[in-house]
A and B are shown apart, each in its own frame.
Chain A
Amino acid sequence: DTEVTQTPKHLVMGMTNKKSLKCEQHMGHRAMYWYKQKAKKPPELMFVYSYEKLSINESVPSRFSPECPNSSLLNLHLHALQPEDSALYLCASSPRRSTGLSGETQYFGPGTRLLVL
Chain B
Amino acid sequence: AQTVTQSQPEMSVQEAETVTLSCTYDTSESDYYLFWYKQPPSRQMILVIRQEAYKQQNATENRFSVNFQKAAKSFSLKISDSQLGDAAMYFCAYRRGNTGNQFYFGTGTSLTVIP
Contact = CB atoms under 8 A, between A and B. Distances in A.
A105 interface: yes
A51 to B, nearest CB: 10
A110 B44 contact: yes
Say what secondary structure dominates the interface of chain B: strand
A35 B61 CA distance: 27
A107 interface: yes
A33 B100 CA distance: 13
Interface stretch (B18-26, B64-72, B73-81, B102-110): B102-110
A117 interface: no
A104 B107 contact: no
Nearest to A6: B44
B102 A56 contact: yes
Nearest to A88: B42
A19 B21 CA distance: 39
17 contacts: A40-B89, A41-B108, A42-B106, A42-B108, A43-B105, A45-B103, A48-B101, A48-B102, A50-B101, A55-B101, A56-B102, A104-B97, A105-B35, A105-B47, A108-B44, A108-B46, A109-B44
Interface of A: 31, 33, 40-43, 45, 48, 50, 55-56, 90, 94, 96-98, 104-111
Given A48-B102, A108-B45, 13 more contacts: A40-B89, A41-B107, A41-B108, A42-B105, A43-B91, A43-B105, A96-B101, A104-B50, A104-B97, A105-B35, A105-B47, A106-B93, A108-B37
